[in-house]
Every structure is written in structure tokens, then in C-alpha cells.
Amino acid sequence: MEKAVLVVCVFFCLLPVTLSSLGQRQRVIVKGRLLCGNAPASNIRVKLVDEDDGPDPDDDMDDGYTNDNGEFLLDGQQTEISPIDPVLKIYHDCNDGLPCQRKWRFKIPNKYIVDPEDSSTVMNMGTWNLEPIADDEERDCIH
């Protein structure tokens, strides 16, 4: 009986490793520019995440901060069996005096999910003013 339990435990421990080796490497590149009013929004935290359902935790693909001109470029890769679900997350305090940071989420369309060797397909978010309050906006103290 103990041997059967050990075999089952080993199987479930190795399953995620086996499944990830069967998956396909996928890439997403996102760029954009952020403003707070008319001024560049510099030093704003941006993250590219593969959101997963179920017990599998979300995968951070890339993260960084906007430069002095409010610009960012994220380039992330992830191995999954099915298509990844990339989301751009922006954490900021523009037009805000409350604790924690405002969090904006943008789902990236599947047409921007490409082979790892493709560096020419880029999701250009354009320029966004962070002042407005989005209906589905959240607050986040730990990101």
C-alpha cells in the first residue's frame, strides 16, 4: 500500500514537469506610452502575465517600469500546451491619493501570440492617459 501511495505521489509531482516539456514556447511583445495628464508617466510598474485558470498559478512573463518619457517595452515568453492568455497589468498612482496603487488590466489579443523567433509582431498599445477611472479598475498593494 505504501508503495502505491509513493508511486501516485511521484506521478503527481512529475506531471507538471512532463506537461511543460510537451508544451510549445510562445512569445508576446507589448509596447506603449503612459501619461498622467499631459506629463509622461515615468517609473510606472508594468507587467506581462500569462493568466492561468484553476490550480496553476499565473506566470510572470516580463515586467519593468516606464522610462522618463513614459514608454515601456515588455517581451515575454512562456511554455504552455494550449495558447497562453497574456495580460498587460499597469500599476499607478496617477490622479490618486488613496493607499495602494490603481491597477489596469488589458487582455492581449491572440494574434499577438507568436513563435519565439518572431520579434516583428508587437502589440502597440499606443498612448494612454492614466487619469480616468476605469469601471473595472482594482487596487493592488502587492504586485
pLDDT in tens, 77-91: 999 999 999 999 999
Distance of CA 25 to the CA centre of its chain: 16
Distance CA 65, CA 80 (A): 26
Would 107 be classed as within a structural domain? yes
pTM: 0.83
Using an 8 Å Cβ cutoff, are 88 and 2 in contact? Answer: no
Higher pLDDT, 54 or 136: 136
Domain assignment present for residue 101? The answer is: yes
Assess if residue 31 is contained within a domain. Answer: yes
Q: 10 Å Cβ neighbour count for 63?
A: 16
User: Widest CA span of the chain, in angstroms?
Assistant: 69
The answer on pLDDT for 7 being more than 70 is no
What is the reported pLDDT for 113? 98
List the CATH number of the domain containing 58. 2.60.40.3330
Residue span of the structural domain in which 55 resides: 24-128
Note whether 5 and 12 are within 8 A (CB): no
pLDDT at 139 over 90: yes
Task: Give the total number of structural domains in the chain.
Answer: 1
- Which distant-in-sequence residues (6+ apart) come within 8 Å of 115 by Cβ? 25, 26, 27
Q: In the predicted model, what is the mean pLDDT of the chain?
A: 90
Average pLDDT over residues 68-84: 97
